[in-house]
């Protein structure tokens, strides 16, 4: 009703909607602080249509809505991120509140490098086969340099680049990068933890 909504808005909204035990549980299971979880709840419920905001914890937000978030809007890996973090069984990449929290937790400041590199591997694995082969690397580089014909590297440059990457990271020389090799090479990368933080 109108008065109930006004009262909730006056009290600051989200704090009264998210039950305390759930808040404590999420604090333990993710790397987010209490403030961050409450803020995430507020933003998630704003993505839902008004009628579904009551039980935001169990609602699912379609992918098109998720992609309107400012953090994901400009990100070239937006589709992969939605695919990796979504737990929806029918492949439509919709995200529940817990998926959303998972995503924010992995990209937060306090997440361990282990967890970040594990998810980064899954995001970069475009064909979901458990390894990064040449096609995955090619798609990855094209994502980085931007969509559009003039922003892609030439074929020769791409070959040279992929050859260099495999030389540096493919330890068992099988032409693909598996999870352990990826985590090993990323653990020595000085920029990885700095850049993989969403604000």
Partner 1 sequence: EVFLPEEARGATPVDFLQQLPSYQSALRRRATAGTQDRRAASQDPAGLRAAEGHGLQQEGDEVAARPAREHPLTIAEKRRLRYCQQADIKYLSGWKQWKRTSSKSLKKVLSEVKELSSYLELWRHDIHSIEGKFGTGIQSYFSFLRFLVLLNFIIFILMFGLVTLPSIISKYGMFNSSFAKIPPKNVEPHCTVYEPSGNKGLVYFYTYLKDLLSGTGFLEVTVLFYGYYTIDAEWISIQKYNLPLAYLLATFGYLALSLVWIIKRSVGGFKQNLVHNKDPFQSYCNKVFAGWDFCITDPNAARLKHRSLQYELQTDLEEERLKRKIADRTTKEKLRIYSLRIFINIIVIAVLSGCFYSIYRATVFSQENSNVSIRHDDVSNMNFQANLLVQYLPSMVITLANFIAPQIFSFLIRFEDYSPAFEIRLTLMRCVFVRLANIGVLLFSLWSQISYCATDKCNACGYNYELYPCWESEVGQEMYKLMIFDFIIILAVILFVDFPRMLLVTHCSCKPVQWCGLQEFGISDNVLEIIYGQTICWIGTFFSPLLPAIATIKYFIIFYIKKISLIHTRKPAARPIRASSSNFFFLVVLLIGLLLAFIPLGISIAHIPSSKACGPFRNFNTSWAVVPHTIDGFPTGLRQVLYGIASEAFAVPFFMVICLIMFYFIALAGAHKRVVEQLREQLVMVRFDPLFCSPKV
Q: Which of residues 136-155 bind partner 1 (CB under 8 A)?
A: 137, 140-141, 143-146, 151, 153
**C-beta of 17 vs 31, nearer to partner 1:** 31
Q: Which of 119, 123, 118 is nearest to 83 (CA)?
A: 123
Minimum Å distance from CB 179 to partner 1?
7
Minimum Å distance from CB 26 to partner 1?
8
Q: Which of 17, 124, 125, 138 binds partner 1 (CB under 8 A)?
A: 124
Q: Which of 21, 28, 51, 149 binds partner 1 (CB under 8 A)?
A: 28
CA angle 180, 29, 44 (to 5 degrees): 105
**Residue 175 main-chain phi, psi, to 5 deg:** 85, -5
By the rule CB under 8 A, 41 interacts with partner 1: no
Q: What CA–CA distances, in Å, run from 190 to 39, 73, 118, 193, 198?
A: 30, 26, 17, 7, 17
Helix (H) or strand (E) holding 108: none
Q: Between residue 55 and residue 74, which ones bind partner 1 under the rule CB under 8 A?
A: 70-71, 73-74
């Amino acid at each position: 009703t109108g008065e109930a909504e006004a009262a909730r808005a006056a009290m600051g909204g989200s704090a009264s909607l998210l039950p305390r035990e759930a808040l404590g549980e999420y604090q333990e299971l993710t790397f987010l602080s209490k403030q961050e979880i409450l803020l995430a709840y507020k933003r998630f419920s704003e993505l839902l249509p008004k009628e579904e905001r009551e039980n935001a914890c169990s609602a699912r937000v379609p992918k098109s809505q998720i992609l309107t978030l400012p953090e994901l809007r400009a990100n070239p890996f937006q589709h992969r991120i939605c695919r990796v973090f979504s737990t929806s069984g029918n492949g439509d990449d919709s995200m529940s509140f817990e998926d959303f929290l998972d995503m924010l937790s992995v990209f937060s400041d306090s997440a361990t490098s282990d967890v970040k590199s594990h998810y980064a591997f899954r995001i970069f694995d475009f064909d979901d086969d458990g390894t990064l082969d040449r096609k995955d690397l090619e798609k990855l580089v094209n994502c980085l340099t931007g969509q559009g014909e003039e922003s892609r590297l030439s074929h020769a440059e791409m070959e040279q680049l992929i050859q260099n990457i495999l030389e540096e990271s493919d330890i068992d020389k099988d032409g693909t990068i598996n999870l352990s090799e990826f985590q090993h090479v990323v653990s020595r990368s000085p920029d990885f933890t700095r850049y993989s933080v969403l604000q």
